Copies of this chain bind each other. A is one copy, B any other.
Amino acid sequence: MCFIDEIMSDNDCKCTVEVCFSPKLFSEILTKEDFTVVLVDILRATTSICTAFHNGVHSILPVATLEEAKQLKEKGFLVASEQDGKKLDFADFGNSAFSFTREMISGKTLVYCTTNGTRALEMAKTADQIVIGSFLNLSALTEWIITQKRNIVILCSGWKNKFCIEDSLFAGALTERLLLQPGFTTNCDSAQAAMDLWHIAENDISGYLEKAAHRHRLNRLGLDDVIPYSFTLDQTNVLPVFDGKEIVDWK
């Protein structure tokens, strides 16, 4: 149930929205009870995970270390693993959404190890629920959150623990949609800032992304083909949730 900040009637009960700009700041969040973490790594893990479920993956097994990923590869699992944006040699996939085609992954379990995303998932395990967010499932995610009536912490994976623009834009877009609902409120400066950045960017996301360092990093690696897709809203209704061991589709 939602968090009651002060003595108020049931009708005034509001769920809080808090934004965390880096996994390293997650231990500082003010929301402590009955909360859902929305995990965000727009370029590229959470965009790719939403794509994988849209294309019928059965489940995704996130692992935090390369050693675990290699061991599971030897046991016959399909493995996606990248470091600094590049696919590692032993893996079947990097983490480009475009590699997770229906014919490659439908009905299968995918082992997933990425620089940023998996680390953030490990840190978010104190939450009551963890759900995967991306622009691809923004509307479906928003509607689901509204039905859940829990406090929300939007956890940006960032880039090597640093603030990054692309995750912050998503945090702003989701915060704005939630605050349009009477049941949600915020007292979080990060949420306010994220909404303002989203307001600046929303009508020309490609133009705004010219400012993002990671966009240029991917460009140098020849991996920026996925960027326009990653910022295309509402391509899917999947709701990937972490059940404590695997990521599965809520539906």
Interface set of A (CB-CB < 8 Å, partner B): 21-22, 24-25, 28, 30, 159-165, 168, 187-190, 192-193, 196-197, 200, 211-214, 216
Q: Which residues of B contact A200 (CB under 8 A)?
A: 196, 200
Contact A163 B21 (CB under 8 A): yes
With A22-B25, A196-B200 as contacts: A190 and B162 at CB distance below 8 Å:
yes
Q: Complex Cα distance A21/B211, Å?
A: 17
Q: Which of chain B's residues has its CB closest to A22's CB?
A: B25
Contact A28 B24 (CB under 8 A): yes
Q: Which residues of B contact A21 (CB under 8 A)?
A: 21, 163
Q: Which residues of B contact A164 (CB under 8 A)?
A: 189
Q: Which residues of B contact A192 (CB under 8 A)?
A: 165, 211-212
> Which among B165, B189, B213, B214 is the interface contact of A163 at CB below 8 angstroms?
B189
Q: Which residues of B contact A196 (CB under 8 A)?
A: 196-197, 200
CB distance from A37 to the nearest CB of B (A): 16
Question: Could you say which of A28, A187, A193, A211 has the most chain B C-beta atoms within 10 Å of its C-beta?
Answer: A193
Given A25-B162, A196-B200, 7 more contacts at CB 8 Å? A22-B22, A22-B28, A159-B189, A163-B190, A165-B192, A168-B193, A189-B212
Q: Which residues of B contact A193 (CB under 8 A)?
A: 163, 165, 168, 193, 197
Q: Complex Cα distance A222/B4, Å?
A: 24
Q: Complex Cα distance A197/B168, Å?
A: 13
Q: List 16 A-B contacts (CB under 8 A).
A: A21-B163, A22-B25, A22-B28, A24-B25, A25-B25, A25-B161, A25-B163, A28-B161, A162-B189, A162-B190, A164-B189, A165-B189, A189-B212, A192-B212, A193-B193, A200-B200
